[in-house]
Structure 1
Amino acid sequence: MKEQLIKAMQHNQLVDMMYVSKSGEVTKRRIKIIKMVGDSFQSFCFVKHAKRTFIIDNVLAVLPVLHKEREVV
């Protein structure tokens, strides 16, 4: 999993991530990885519209976002 996260960070790519929180809740997040630090990584979460730190071992799946969704105004 760490290799996929590093690759996404190096290519400046958005990813959809399935993540288990400390409380055991599974969430889907769209993120842009900012930096990797030990067993965790910092990213911008588009769901929360803020920077968040995630633990690599709690990541269930990562899928690259191949296209950006367009908003209808």
Structure 2
Amino acid sequence: MKGLFHRSIENKEKIVIVYIDSKNNVTQRYVRVISMDDDSIVAFCFWRKKVRTFKFENILSAGPIRRKLGA
């Protein structure tokens, strides 16, 4: 998962994460990672339209965004 975050930083790629917030709600967020440390990532959240901090312990899954292929 950390490799995906590094790639998001280096290539400015948007990724999707599934996250548990402070009220124990599970949310799906589209983010672009700005920086990373041992405990968390700092990312621009496209849903909130703000820079947010996400703790690793609360990230359930992360992955690249699948691009739709047109006919």
The TM tier, using the shorter chain, reads 0.7 to 0.9
Contact 1:33 1:43 in 2 (8 A): yes
Alignment of 1:38-49 (within 5 A): 38-49=38-49
**Counterparts of 2:2 and 2:66 in 1: how far apart (Å)?**
20
Alignment of 1:49-60 (within 5 A): 49-60=49-60
Q: Which runs of 5+ in 1 are unaligned?
A: 69-73
Q: Which runs of 5+ in 2 are unaligned?
A: none
| Structure 1 segments of 4+ aligned residues over 4 angstroms from their partners | none
Q: Which amino acid aligns with 2:59?
A: V
Contact 1:2 1:56 in 2 (8 A): no
Alignment of 1:1-73 (within 5 A): 1-67=1-67
Give the TM-score normalised by structure 1: 0.79
**Counterparts of 2:55 and 2:11 in 1: how far apart (Å)?**
20
Q: Which amino acid aligns with 1:46?
A: F
**Counterparts of 1:15 and 1:54 in 2: how far apart (Å)?**
13
**Counterparts of 1:57 and 1:12 in 2: how far apart (Å)?**
23
How high is the sequence identity, in percent, across the aligned residues?
A: 29
